[in-house]
Amino acid sequence: MAKSKTVYFCKECGFESGKWLGQCPGCKQWDSFVEEPVIKKSKSFSGGNVRLQASEPTKLSNVTTSEDQRIQTGIEEFDRVLGGGIVIGSLVLVGGDPGIGKSTLLLQMCKNLVEKQHSILYISGEESLKQIKMRAERLGAFTGELLLLSETNLDIIEETIKKLSPEVVIIDSIQTMYKEEIGSAPGSVSQVRETTGTLMHLAKGLGVSIFIVGHVTKEGVVAGPRVLEHMVDTVLYFEGENQASYRILRGVKNRFGSTNEIGVFEMRSSGLVEVLNPSEYMLQGKPEGESGSIVACSIEGTRPILVEVQALVCQTNFNMPRRTAAGTDYNRVNLLMAVIEKRLGIQMSSCDAYINVAGGMKINEPALDLGIVISLISSYKNRAVDSKTIVFGEVGLTGEVRAVNQAEQRVIEAAKMGFEVCILPQANKEVIKDSKIKLVGVRNIREAINII
């Protein structure tokens, strides 16, 4: 018998090779190649000189556009991240750590949609029908009829979708689905790629909106080839610590709306509850009159969010000072400490420094720089900052405070939360014409420290 041909795929990026390689040439990852059998493609025509009919090019001016039809999920935070609702015929990937609440969120969405008489098919390859029923009972009574299917064979799933023609389909999860003609195990590179391709054709061909649940690796990315994220229309990540009560739904790719939009939820025994005012939620428990604490404003997508930046600076007992950053970029903190030492003459090199964005949010926006600088100096000098003061601004290597985007929305959010003074870049202050709170513009960190 002829030996079956196999090829090697990179688990990270899907790079294909005829032999095993220690390092992937595409993504430079080590030991990421796995052996998979070659998928035999069926020929669409028999041999001979057959000429395929090519589609004709169309002028851009002749292409007509219409507003995407959307289905409201009944969850305002979910609709915000999707860009206004579910687009008909879209393919959405929802990723997140195990137990973070992906299935719970999608089941709550199904509950709201069936109440509006939408036809929904929930397909689970990990849970039995009784397990889904038990989870649904915790969310409350379902007034509509939700169709359930416990199946992992994609050929059966495909026939079921074509037969029922539902409006929305949930696939939980993509790593458990398989196609019989592919010899590899479920969750392998070949299976994930081919099953996603089949689901994409179903979504576009039948006009069915399909949600795919994807597990993530220890690095926090969806398991399987990277091409999976390129094939789908929208990629959503469900983030949050298992010990914390809140969850953040973040859109990292969206062909039908803005990216980097977030939705905030609180996990309760009865399911996920929307947090309509994240700023108020994040500032709960903020200490009064303590050094090393300052409120800064960040923009997530189109939404301003106020967060508390905490710093603890103390003399080190070791030859090499310790640096720790939670919720922000570690290298950025080291850079800002070097700027403080050089431009302000404060000896940070002999101190341990710990930075924390309270609430567990992860923010890498440069507008947080000024808040980090002020919190570090406040802790170093053991002087508290007025609790009614808020700051934002990007700090450069020469100590200058640069302008940031959407400054007016940040000021409006600060005024709404009861703050009285806002320290911001001078360039932003000149643009803002009217404000309900006092605006103080600064050109460099020395001016900001003198004002504080």
Distance, CA of 405 to CA of 420 (rounded, Å): 21
Q: Is the pLDDT of residue 269 over 50?
A: yes
Task: Give the dihedral of Cα atoms 125, 130, 136, 140; nearest 10 deg.
Answer: 170
Name beta bridge partners: 253: 235
Annotated binding site: 96-103
38-52, 279-293, 340-354: the lowest-pLDDT one: 38-52
Residue list for the binding site for ATP: 96-103
Q: Is the pLDDT of residue 67 over 80?
A: no
Q: What DSSP designation does 117 have?
A: T
Reading the block at residue 13, the tokens are: 């990026």
Range in 55-64, 136-145, 164-173, 436-445 with the lowest mean pLDDT: 55-64
Greatest distance between any 2 Cα atoms in the chain? 84
Q: Mean pLDDT throughout 10-37? A: 81
pLDDT recorded at residue 261: 83
Confidence at residue 43, expressed as pLDDT on a 0 to 100 scale: 44
**Termini Cα distance of the chain:** 81
Buried b (16+ CB within 10 A) or exposed e, 372-409: bbbbbbbbbeeebbebebbbbbbbeeebbbbbbebbee
Burial profile 416-449: b = 16 or more Cβ within 10 angstroms, e = fewer: ebebebbbbbbebbeebeeeebebbbbebbebbb
Contact 173, 125 (CB under 8 A): yes
pLDDT band for position 360 (50/70/90)?
confident
Q: What is the pTM of this model?
A: 0.77
